[in-house]
Structure 1
Amino acid sequence: MKLQSLVLAAATALTMTSAFAVPAGTWTVAAGAHYVDPKSDNGTLNNGLSVDVDGDVRPTISGEYFVADNVGVELLAAIPFHHDITLTDANGNEVDAKTQHLPPTLSVQYHFDGYNLPMNVKPFVGVGVNYTTFFKERVYLGNGNDLELDDSVGVAGHIGLDIPYAPTESFRIDARYMDIKTDASLNGNDLGEVDISPWVYGVAFVKQF
């Protein structure tokens, strides 16, 4: 009887593990908000101006398609992030600027689903590519000054945790690192590179289909 009970328990555990794995062909959609937190030192331009880019939070949405069990391809999108920029010369004089950007990010992710973790939480990791496009740049140096920031392409890393509260619904907390570097120019003259490279922290509601 003990052996039969052990066999039955093992079979049940295996069945549960298989059932919890996210199968190939599954879609998930995550809606939430993310905070873009640029690195503290954003570089020094050719004219000696140091650059400081502030953070911003905006609503985001992502869709993920599982190409294999527990392996998904995710695309992250958002409404434009707004960043104030402070340029400081060697004497401490400051010039304000600003920009908006969109950071679509495509990642391949592995979800640790089916491992019988406490509360059935589901960690995941991912790596991919980020494309950031800048627009509506402005520098407050008087009329006729044109600031431009070039688009950026870089690697992106992703870690997170899904906490299920229904069979197809979860609460997600996550963090991403994005390699974002942009060449700046003023009135067509090269100023140098601005290194934003932020950590991006977020929360979201996840629905599985």
Structure 2
Amino acid sequence: MLSLRTFGLSAAIASLLIAPSAFAQDGDTASGKRFSVVGSATILQPDSDPLPGARIDADGDVAPTLSATYHITDNIGVELWGAADKFNHRVRGDAGKLGTVDSQPIALSGQYHFGAADNTFRPFVGLGYHQTNISDEDIATADGAHVGLTSPKGAIGTVGVDMNITPTWFARADARYLHGEADAKLGGQTVERDVKFNPWTVGVGVGARF
């Protein structure tokens, strides 16, 4: 799976590198197209201090993400975005690796795209609500009890830019911040509330409008 993710990231970056030559041509993206879809390779990095004072950290990971947007107008849209595969995070403490946990976010956001539909570069911003499913918690404890985490939920903010290649195809780079906290359970009993997840993401990808 890691090799497939790496390939996806490389392909997305390559699309951005070849895009400038295409941008030099007439990029007259037709207005009136109401749907767009984007596939990206995305890095997700959780909060670096989930439990203040506990000296625990979680590594980031790369996974494919997908988005589908309904464009109410050329400037206003509603986006459904989510991870097509799980992000796997290695949990570390002072003594080294404590275990692993997976996350898979999904979000619904309103977006505003600046400029005309036929502009080569179109920045956009978004604000919405996300839920991140946490699964496959495998964290070592002294007595072997299972550590579980509830699903963080909360606001998501997005900034990005689309770069038109043809009237249909475009490249995208975006960054997102997901605010949300989880409860930690040990053997089914809540032992810690408001564990910070609060990841940020950076993605690059290719999309199509129709």
Q: Same fold (TM over 0.5)?
A: yes
| Structure 1 residues 190 and 110, CA gap change in structure 2 (3 angstroms) | same
Deviations 1:40-76 (A, max 9, x none): 22223xxx63321110110111100012332111011
By how many angstroms is 1:175 displaced?
0.4
Q: Is residue 2:171 matched to residue 1:171?
A: yes
By how many angstroms is 1:82 displaced?
0.7
Structure 2 counterpart of 1:71, from 72, 76, 84: 76
What letter is aligned with 1:101? S
| Structure 1 residues 175 and 36, CA gap change in structure 2 (3 angstroms) | same
Question: Which residue in 2 is equivalent to 1:191?
Answer: 192
| Structure 1 residues 144 and 42, CA gap change in structure 2 (3 angstroms) | closer
Identity rate, percent: 34
TM-score normalised by L of structure 2? 0.78
Paired with 1:171 and 1:203, the residues of 2 have a C-alpha distance of 8
Whether contact under 8 Å (2:161, 2:174) holds in the other structure is yes
Superposed, which structure 2 residues align to 1:6-85 within 5 Å? 22-23=31-32, 26-44=34-52, 49-78=54-83, 79-85=85-91
TM-score normalised by L of structure 1? 0.78
1:103 alignment partner, SS class = strand
Please, which runs of 5 or more residues in structure 2 have no aligned partner? 1-27
By how many angstroms is 1:125 displaced?
0.6
Please, which runs of 5 or more residues in structure 1 have no aligned partner? 1-18
Superposed, which structure 2 residues align to 1:140-179 within 5 Å? 140-141=140-141, 144-179=144-179
By how many angstroms is 1:30 displaced?
0.1
Paired residues in the alignment total 181
Structure 1 counterpart of 2:107, from 87, 105, 108: 105
By how many angstroms is 1:21 displaced?
7.3
By how many angstroms is 1:154 displaced?
0.7
Please tell me whether Structure 1 or Structure 2 has the larger radius of gyration of its CA atoms.
1
Paired with 2:51 and 2:144, the residues of 1 have a C-alpha distance of 25
Paired with 2:159 and 2:128, the residues of 1 have a C-alpha distance of 12
What letter is aligned with 2:116? G
